[in-house]
């Protein structure tokens, strides 16, 4: 038996158990971790780092100034080292490189004391290794998608891309430079490839072609490392596949988005932009669960959209008035300005870049125009010229957006109540009263004849006073306008 073997046997037989506080360390997959250990003095000739589940093999065994690789577990080969090979001041801390989730466990540090010819337990460290961060990718049905994965080195014997619900088959199995079609799930035949078959710089990214909603799920990229003779999980990717825009209702095109496209913390909230009264309704949110391969109803939301506030405008008779209205964008196919009492006629109808005079109410002929015929920035305001009291009423501005292609989705943009009043200081007499006064004006040319007849004693005085009063009243009406047609 060699001296080294004899010393090892002694180390295994004579063990001194000393109380050691257990330290907890958490690391992320791929990091380098230092497991600290400091012996009370320098009177030791060896260091043992072990983990119970490794059996008779060690994480690291260092004796008489050199490593003993024969007893090292293969998964730690070339991946561990002492922080200080001279073990100055009793420092026998271990550096564990590029940790994997299967490195999680309880590690014990022992030193072999020359004086007692025994091992002494110095420290116990519990290592927890978190898996790689879950990466979220969203793709549209029919697209090609790249699932990224990069290994720490090139010494890869086997690469496997998997999804839990496909087991025991794989999305892709790549062994010693060749694909293994026997282990591939049939749904991925001729649809997957490596981004770089030479796996340069450890690039193991997968290209998934022509994705469908059935491809949604959680994918894992694992490699079997030549150095460690063990499997290592490199990346976890959650793939969501959504329907293409062609299957999206046209009224929501360019108007919806996710609050967080990365769906952080499961947030799949929807942003609905520039709502109209047509958006009112009940909305349901469902997610596709990778574990069950089923859609799950998450929430039901009832949306109520109130119509635009009614504006009130007061104008004087004879003025030009602008009725303001602004659409959300420039993709306007039809613009309608209407008033309920006009029936099927419009104040203004603008279709495909042209006015439509056939459906315009005759009272607005040559009296209305758009403030901007190019409707820049969605400006569809109406100019109403030379208003009269007959223009009083409630006007509605509606647009038909070019993105929807459905006439029923015309949206009310604004509601304006117009009130037309007489200019201040002007006397306007309308209706039947105007008719009687006009008849009186027609008779006043006879007033002088009446006056002469009175002087000759042919008329009584009360009748003359009555006619004189009427003439005085008519003088006061010289500034009045009459709004009544006599037939």
Per-residue model confidence as pLDDT tens digits over 323-337: 999 887 667 888 999
For residue 29, which of 76, 92, 96, 90 has the smallest C-alpha distance?
96
Residues 408 and 437 placed together within one structural domain of the fold: no
**CATH code assigned at 389:** 2.60.40.10
Domain span including residue 434:
430-483
- Please check whether residues 369 and 265 belong to one and the same domain: no
Q: Which of 14-18, 273-277, 306-310, 348-352 has the lowest mean pLDDT?
A: 14-18
Same domain, 145 and 196: yes
Query: What's the 3-state SS for 151-203?
Result: CCCCCEEEEEEEEHHHCCCECEEEECCEECHHHECHHHCCCEEECCCCCHHHE
- What pLDDT is stored for residue 199 in this prediction? 85
pLDDT band at 463; cut points 50, 70, 90: very low
Domain shared by 231 and 289, yes or no: no
Q: What is the mean pLDDT of residues 93-117?
A: 87
Given a contact cutoff of 8 angstroms between Cβ atoms, the answer to whether 460 and 453 are in contact is: no
Instruction: Annotate 418-449 with DSSP letters as a single string.
Output: EEEEPPTT-EEEETHHHHHHHHHHHHGGGHHH
Out of 303, 321, 337, pick the residue that ends a domain. 303
pLDDT at residue 417, as a whole number = 93
Is the per-residue pLDDT at 59 higher than 90? yes
pLDDT higher than 80, residue 21: no
Domain's final residue, options 197, 216, 242? 242
Query: Does residue 88 carry a pLDDT above 70?
Result: yes
Model confidence pLDDT, tens digit, residues 472-481? 444 444 444 4
At 250-288, the pLDDT tens digits run: 888 888 888 877 777 888 899 998 787 788 888 999 887
List pLDDT tens digits, range 341-394: 998 899 999 887 788 999 999 999 999 999 988 888 889 999 999 999 999 999
Q: Are residues 171 and 278 in the same domain?
A: no
> For the residues 288-315, what does the mean pLDDT come to?
80
Residue 405 has pLDDT above 60, yes or no: no
Q: Phi/psi of residue 277, each to 5°?
A: -65, -20
Q: Do residues 121 and 22 share a domain?
A: yes
Q: Write the CB contacts of 277 (distance below 8 Å, at least 6 apart in sequence).
A: 305, 306, 307, 411, 412
Distances in Å between the alpha carbon of 299 and those of 258, 269, 396?
A: 15, 10, 36
Q: What is the pLDDT of residue 8?
A: 35
CB 110 within 8 A of CB 92: no
Number of domains composing the chain: 5
Residue 441 confidence (pLDDT) above 70: no
Do 264 and 321 lie in a common domain? Answer: no
More confident call, 436 vs 54:
54
pLDDT at 53 over 80: yes
Q: What is the pLDDT of residues 191-222, one digit of tens each?
A: 999 998 888 888 999 999 999 888 999 999 98
Residue 187 and residue 262 in one domain: no
Query: Which tens digits make up the pLDDT trace of 109-159?
Result: 999 887 777 888 999 999 998 877 788 898 888 899 999 998 876 678 889
Give the chain's mean pLDDT. 79
Q: Indicate whether 231 and 166 sit together in one domain.
A: yes
Q: Which residues contact 157 (CB under 8 A, 6 or more apart)?
A: 175, 176, 223, 224, 225, 226
Same domain membership, residue 438 and residue 416: no
Look at residues 282, 303, 324 and tell me which one is the last residue of a structural domain. Answer: 303
| One domain, residues 120 and 142 | no
pLDDT reported for residue 447: 52
Q: Which residue has the higher pLDDT, 400 or 186?
A: 186
Report the alpha-carbon distance of residue 316 to residue 425 in Å, rounded. Answer: 12
pLDDT-above-90 percentage for the chain: 32
The predicted pLDDT at position 175 comes to 86
Same-domain status, 284 and 237? no
Confidence at 233, pLDDT banded by 50, 70, 90? confident
């Amino acid at each position: 038996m060699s001296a080294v073997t004899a010393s090892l046997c002694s180390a295994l037989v004579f063990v001194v158990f000393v109380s050691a506080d257990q330290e907890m360390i958490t690391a992320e997959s791929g990091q380098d971790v230092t497991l600290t250990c400091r012996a009370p003095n320098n009177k030791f000739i060896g260091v043992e780092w072990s983990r119970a589940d490794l059996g008779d093999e060690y994480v690291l065994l260092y004796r008489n100034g050199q490593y003993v690789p024969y007893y090292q577990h293969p998964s730690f080969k070339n991946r561990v080292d002492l922080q200080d090979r001279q073990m100055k001041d009793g420092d026998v801390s271990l550096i564990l490189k590029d940790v994997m989730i299967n490195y999680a466990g309880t590690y014990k540090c022992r030193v072999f004391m020359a004086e007692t010819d025994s091992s002494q337990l110095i420290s116990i460290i519990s290592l927890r290794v978190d898996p790689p961060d879950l990466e979220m990718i969203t793709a549209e049905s029919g697209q090609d998608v790249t699932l990224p994965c990069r290994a720490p080195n090139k010494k890869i014997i086997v690469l496997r891309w998997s999804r839990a619900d496909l087991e025991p088959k794989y999305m892709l199995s790549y062994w010693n430079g060749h694909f293994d079609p026997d282990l591939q799930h049939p749904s991925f035949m001729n649809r997957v490839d490596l981004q770089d078959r030479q796996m340069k710089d450890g690039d193991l990214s997968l290209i998934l072609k022509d994705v469908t909603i059935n491809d949604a799920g959680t994918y894992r990229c694992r490699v079997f490392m030549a150095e460690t003779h063990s499997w290592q999980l490199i990346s976890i990717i959650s793939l969501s596949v959504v329907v293409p825009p062609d299957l999206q209702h046209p009224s929501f095109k360019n108007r919806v988005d996710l609050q967080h496209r990365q769906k952080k913390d499961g947030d799949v909230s929807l942003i609905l932009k520039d709502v109209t009264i047509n958006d009112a309704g009940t909305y349901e949110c469902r997610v596709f669960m990778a574990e069950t391969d089923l859609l799950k109803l998450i929430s039901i939301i009832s949306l109520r959209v109130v119509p635009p506030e009614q504006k009130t405008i007061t104008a004087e008779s004879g003025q030009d008035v602008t009725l303001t209205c602004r659409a959300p964008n420039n993709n306007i196919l039809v613009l309608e300005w209407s008033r309920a009492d006009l029936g099927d006629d419009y104040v203004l109808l603008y279709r495909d870049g042209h006015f439509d005079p056939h459906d315009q109410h005759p009272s607005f002929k040559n009296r209305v125009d758009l403030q901007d015929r190019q409707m820049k920035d969605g400006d569809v305001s109406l100019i109403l010229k030379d208003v009269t009291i007959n223009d009083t009423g409630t006007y509605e501005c509606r647009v038909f957006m070019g993105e929807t292609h459905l006439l029923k989705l015309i949206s009310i943009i604004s509601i304006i109540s117009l009130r037309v009043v007489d200019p201040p200081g002007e006397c306007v007499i309308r209706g039947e009263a105007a008719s009687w006064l006009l008849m009186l004006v027609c008779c006043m040319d006879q007033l002088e004849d009446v006056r002469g007849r009175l002087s000759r004693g042919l008329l009584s005085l009360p009748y003359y006073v009555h006619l004189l009063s009427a003439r005085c009243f008519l003088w006061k009406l010289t500034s009045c306008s009459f709004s009544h047609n006599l037939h």
